[in-house]
Amino acid sequence: MPSLHLEGVSKHFGGLKAVDDITMVVPPGEITGLIGPNGAGKSTVVNMISGVLSLTHGDIRLDGTSIATDRSDIVARRGVSRTFQNIRLLPEATVLENVLIGFHRREHAGVVANLLGLPAALREDRAFRERAHSLLDRFGLDEYADTEAGNLAYGHQRRVEMARAIASEPDIVLLDEPVAGMNDVESDELATIFRELANSGMGLLLIEHNVGFVTRLCKQVYVLDSGRMIASGDPHEVTRDPKVVAAYIGTSKH
Ligand X SMILES: Nc1ncnc2c1ncn2[C@@H]1O[C@H](COP(=O)(O)OP(=O)(O)OP(=O)(O)O)[C@@H](O)[C@H]1O
What residues line the site for ligand X (CB under 6 A)? Answer: 13, 16, 18, 36, 38-44
DSSP notation for 32-43: EEEE-STTSSHH
Do the beta carbons of residue 161 and residue 82 sit within 8 Å?
no
Do the beta carbons of residue 45 and residue 224 sit within 8 Å?
yes
What is the nearest approach in angstroms of ligand X to the Cβ of residue 160? 21
What is the nearest approach in angstroms of ligand X to the Cβ of residue 97? 29
Cβ neighbours around 98 below 10 Å, total = 25
If the CB atoms of residues 17 and 61 are measured against ligand X, the closer one turns out to be 17
If the CB atoms of residues 36 and 51 are measured against ligand X, the closer one turns out to be 36
What is the nearest approach in angstroms of ligand X to the Cβ of residue 35? 9
If the CB atoms of residues 75 and 167 are measured against ligand X, the closer one turns out to be 75
What is the nearest approach in angstroms of ligand X to the Cβ of residue 16? 6
If the CB atoms of residues 71 and 123 are measured against ligand X, the closer one turns out to be 71
* Alpha helical stretches, state H, 32-94: 42-49, 72-78
